[in-house]
Amino acid sequence: MSKNYKKHQAYIAGRDKMKVAVITGASRGIGEAIAKALAEDGYSLALGARSVDRLEKIAKELSEKHGVEVFYDYLDVSKPESVEEFARKTLAHFGDVDVVVANAGLGYFGRLEELTEEQFHEMIEVNLLGVWRTIKAFLNSLKRTGGVAIVVTSDVSARLLPYGGGYVATKWAARALVRTFQIENPDVRFFELRPGAVDTYFGGSKAGKPKEQGYLKPEEVAEAVKYLLRLPKDVRVEELMLRSIYQKPEY
């Protein structure tokens, strides 16, 4: 029996025990909360964001606290070459991945005619093309592992929001991407996670807002991700919308 064969068998055995999750926009907010939640469940992690210093701190904390392996690197999903490089390094490090959480996103708000071309293009690059690039980069690996792709959109991915039309348009489009990816790739499970207002720094706001103002906490969104990933492999949840009980129900 060759050494290479034994090495390959050991790798396969290790893969059966180790689950690897990729998370974009992982340096704070929902992405950071998901990273912490999955580390608690024993996932090895590949974290990407533009704030590498924050990623380094998170990686150290999770490795020491949960004993999981954490790879991190710079990632700007608005740049094709950045996504490709991050995916290349991640796959070289872990071999394959089981979960991809496309979480990176941004928003500019105001009347449609007040948005600048630059603002609209930036939202399209991150919220739409960033999702497409991320899933595309890891799709073959997810097919090999029978994995899961979770795309974090918003509760406005299927409704309208005055003074948020540009942001809403990108989330509707991202919703269409998720469904098309699912139809074309039935061997991978695609989940659209649709949180309502969340207490983060999103849109330039400050974190620490009272729950009574209608905001979920990032940790509550992360718990939903843990729930989705604990389901049997023959269960596909195509979308999950969650909002604070203090947020007005709008559809």
Active site residues per annotation? 167
Dihedral sign for Cα atoms in the order 226, 22, 105, 187: negative
**Sole residue written with tokens 């708000």:** 109
Contact criterion met (CB below 8 Å) for 144 and 97: no
The whole-angstrom separation of Cα 75 and Cα 98 is 19
Contact criterion met (CB below 8 Å) for 166 and 108: yes
Contact criterion met (CB below 8 Å) for 137 and 181: no
Beta strands in the chain (DSSP E): 20-24, 44-49, 70-74, 99-102, 148-152, 189-195, 239-242
The whole-angstrom separation of Cα 127 and Cα 131 is 6
Closest by Cα among 160, 182, 180 to 169 = 160
State whether residue 142 is helix, strand or coil: helix
